Copies of this chain bind each other. A is one copy, B any other.
């Protein structure tokens, strides 16, 4: 016991001394990380082939040979390129039982068959390989301006080794995120090479839709007029047609946010269970609904701006002036048509309310906002308010169209106006949703979503007594 007592101050002495971390490699990232670690109170020993280039090494750090450096610490950060990993095999003895932190990245997604961390673990089976820091940039470490992502993804097979690395991450003011075993390294190594993977298809889709509607409108509004009436309306391209593309794409994309949910509900009702997987395309579609919705909001925002500048446009002012002059010259005054006033105001009011709710949806999809609501609230906003937005925007478009679809003049060269295209998918979604909220359909669907199964034919017979007893959903 005496020894133990004597140990306590000793331990506490040791703990107050700086821990030593070894870094293999004196390249840009190794030096930046070493510099930052020293700022946070660690002693740094660099392992390098040549121990002379001390000019770039942060002041206060030691440079030793790889073997000597490795012996100073239990944690070795491997800041060298994968192609040079093989030389580490010669240090196998020294590195045995130590924590090796793989910080490397590749140049391309899935460049090698196995991840760098797995490759390192295979080379040195006696060491504990932990993947970390690869998502942090050398520049960010140097400048201290960690504006972007502060999350450090970590994986590894050894829990204690991971915990040690996590402690280092935390003391740098970063947030460690445990991603499981070393198998997760592949995903982590691909992460910093990605460029908005979830946004790709929604953006492609919106561009394709925009291009189609733009070309269609050019034919219908400019070429038709030029061919049939000899009028040059080409300047319509810039604002008039842009303001026709934006609302149409916005409404279609908004409807596409809710369409996969309808499909999923029908599939679940048909199968009578929620435990069989959706087809792959539906899964992917479900996962990019947020992105579809935000792109729709961007288009709606552009539509609002394009609409609000209408009265400033020279063309619009000229047309209004011509109209007034025409009346003045003919000594004629129009009375106020109350019906038209109703129609114009309703159409605008639906648009305003729809856009307002759309902005609200956008705000609640900000990570920090969605993080501060519970699931019930999140679903309330994204489902109820979302459908309300869709209804308002659809009604806005219907009101915009009004009786226009009745007149022959709306179909030059038999081409219907574009707003009609934009109404197809929203109307389908709303009609199908209307049927899905009928109690006779909604009740079994809710039960299925709580884990109940109509006829468990897809899997071997489970006892449904059991599942009603146990917690189905939270």
Contact = CB atoms under 8 A, between A and B. Distances in A.
A103 to B, nearest CB: 7
Interface string A166-179: 00001101000111
Contacts of A196: 373, 377, 380
A340 interface: yes
A314 B428 CA distance: 31
Contacts of A307: 309, 312
A224 interface: no
A167 to B, nearest CB: 9
A312 B348 contact: yes
Given A28-B451, A235-B338, A304-B305, 17 more contacts: A28-B471, A52-B463, A55-B459, A56-B275, A137-B375, A192-B474, A195-B376, A302-B352, A302-B356, A306-B349, A310-B311, A311-B311, A315-B336, A317-B320, A318-B334, A318-B341, A321-B334
Interface string A317-350: 1101111110111010110111011111110110
Contacts of A355: 305
Interface stretch (A140-148, A208-216, A386-394, A416-424): A140-148
20 contacts: A50-B463, A52-B463, A53-B462, A138-B473, A139-B473, A143-B287, A147-B365, A148-B370, A148-B374, A148-B375, A149-B378, A170-B178, A173-B177, A193-B376, A239-B345, A307-B309, A322-B334, A366-B368, A368-B368, A368-B371
Contacts of A65: none
Given A305-B356, A472-B27, A311 B312 contact: yes
B145 A287 contact: yes
Interface string A185-212: 0000001111110000000000000000
Contacts of A366: 366, 368-369
A374 B194 contact: yes
A471 B337 CA distance: 72
Contacts of A333: 322, 325
B474 A137 contact: yes
A104 B471 contact: yes
Given A29-B473, A328-B329, A149 B371 contact: yes
A466 B56 CA distance: 12
B48 A466 contact: yes
B12 A471 contact: no
A267 interface: no
Contact of A327 (B313, B321, B367): B321
A157 interface: yes
Contacts of A235: 338, 341-342, 345
B147 A290 contact: yes
The 3 closest A-B pairs by CB, nearest first: A27-B470, A55-B459, A368-B368
A267 to B, nearest CB: 15
A321 B318 contact: no
A472 B28 contact: yes
Nearest to A238: B345
A268 interface: no
Contact of A328 (B234, B317, B325): B325
Contacts of A473: 28-29, 137-139
Given A310-B312, A340-B314, A359-B301, A346 B238 contact: yes
B344 A314 contact: yes
A355 B240 CA distance: 18
Interface stretch (A77-85, A253-261, A407-415, A435-443): A77-85
